[in-house]
Amino acid sequence: MHDEDPVRHRPRWRPPPSRLELWILGTGFVLAAFAGVATYQLGGPYGERLRDEPGAGRVYDSETGLLKLVATDRNSNLWFDMWTHFADGRAVRSELDENEDGVIDYWRHYAPDGSVHKVGFSTLRDGVEDAWVYVDEAGVLKRVEYSTRRDGVVDRTELYEDGAIVRVE
């Protein structure tokens, strides 16, 4: 009986995991969590490594200490979809990737007082800002400008009154 293969007669139950096995398992979970956080922090079209609380990331100027960029996860799906750029401590532009395809779809340009000056968008949704919408203080559409050659030079302007187009230049 002692000559039999001991592998065939292993007990069906397994003893509780050892401290080493528990440590290895725990380490694996911790590493997986860090990998997820690193993936979250590297997201976005700019490639900056963002270190901050979940839902937002901040980049500061190394020389002045002023805020340069805030990346935001607007819908809490662990993917940055809005980037706000700062100059001299104030927001100058926000970029939005509305459909989260890695391409900017909308731009918000801010006036010195922090209000939205104009909203830009890509008519072909390819990351090229080629149209701009202007509204008044009440949010009423006043003008839309287009760069039909997609070179940033406005060559078509639509003027609006009471929400209706009144003139094209």
Domain extent listing, the chain: 19-129
In the predicted structure, residue 86 carries a pLDDT above the cut 80:
yes
Token code pair at residue 79: 């993917």
Say what percent of the chain tops pLDDT 90: 26
CB 134, CB 126: distance < 8 Å: no
Give me the percent of the chain exceeding a pLDDT of 70. Answer: 66
**Assigned token pair, 104:** 């900017």
Q: For residues 12 and 108, which has the higher predicted lDDT (pLDDT)?
A: 108
- Please report the pLDDT score of residue 146 as a whole number: 94
- How far is it, in rounded angstroms, from Cα 132 to Cα 4? 83
pLDDT tens-digit readout, 3-27: 544 445 544 545 555 555 555 555 4
Burial label for 45, CB within 10 Å (0-12, 13-18, 19+), is middle
pLDDT reported for residue 61: 85
Query: Residue 128's pLDDT band (boundaries 50, 70, 90)?
Result: very high
pLDDT average, residue stretch 95-109? 87
Alpha-carbon distance of 61 to 86, in angstroms, equals 10
